[in-house]
Copies of this chain bind each other. A is one copy, B any other.
Amino acid sequence: MAGTRPIEVHSGQGGAMPEYRVLAFDIFGTTVDWRTGVAEQVAEIAAAQGVSLDAEAVADDWRGRYLPSMRRVNDGERGWTYLDTLHRESLDELLAERGLDFPEDVRRALVRAWHRLPAWPDSVPGLARLREKYVVAALSNGGFSLLTNLIKAAGLPFDCVLSAELARRYKPAPEPYLTAAELLDVRSEEVLMVACHSWDLDGARAAGLGTAFVERPREKGPHGADRPGEVEVDVTAGDFTELADRLGC
């Protein structure tokens, strides 16, 4: 991935205090409300099958298997595996545990629920403001196609889509963050990673990026959410419009 770059195309300031040129946004939880979106689609699809279930509990259970499934890829237990495949495997497990036997086409439709999720209300207006000053990029563990579909459906005004798929390792490993900087031809400290998850911001910081914590208290419904102060970050904001304020947009 990504080629040998000529030194002349780097035009960073080189000062002690980096000036951000790119804002890289986490997507699931940070930019879109995965829990509401997945639970609604699970409820609808299950109802069409005549199955009654607690759709929010399914969404929570499904998401709970997300980090462990990616960790097995990053730890080398298995080769690079696309997020849709991880989602499908987790789904099959949780359905089996619940004694639910959905047919193949229904399982496929459920996996695709993650391709269409509602933006938080501040995401579009906040990104529109931030985009005036910075390159705004999506940087998620979701696949390139998933992200392109999701961003298009939600009308999110990103300048470009980046994905862990381009680095073939998942965040919080350093490669996705460094690949983003390399593809956008900036130094890692010129990228500000924006996320609502401490583990993501920790990974970004370890890779040399700046970090912005945006609080999303409703991300996991009643199950709490990461809070500011759990990890060291450069910027903290309540939402994307407050982030735009903080960054002088």
Contact = CB atoms under 8 A, between A and B. Distances in A.
A143 B185 contact: yes
Nearest to A186: B145
B160 A135 contact: no
A247 interface: no
Interface stretch (A3-11, A31-39, A62-70): A3-11
B145 A1 contact: no
Interface in A158-188: 159-161, 165-166, 168, 183-186
A151 interface: yes
A116 to B, nearest CB: 13
A72 interface: no
A148 B131 CA distance: 12
Size category of the binding interface on chain A: 35 or more
A176 to B, nearest CB: 13
Given A3-B165, A6-B88, A148-B159, 11 more contacts: A8-B88, A8-B104, A9-B108, A9-B145, A131-B152, A144-B183, A145-B184, A145-B185, A148-B184, A151-B160, A160-B161
Interface of A: 1-6, 8-9, 11, 79-82, 84-85, 88, 104, 107-108, 111-112, 131, 135, 137, 143-146, 148-149, 151-152, 159-161, 165-166, 168, 183-186
11 contacts: A1-B166, A3-B80, A3-B143, A3-B165, A5-B84, A6-B88, A11-B108, A137-B148, A145-B186, A151-B160, A165-B183
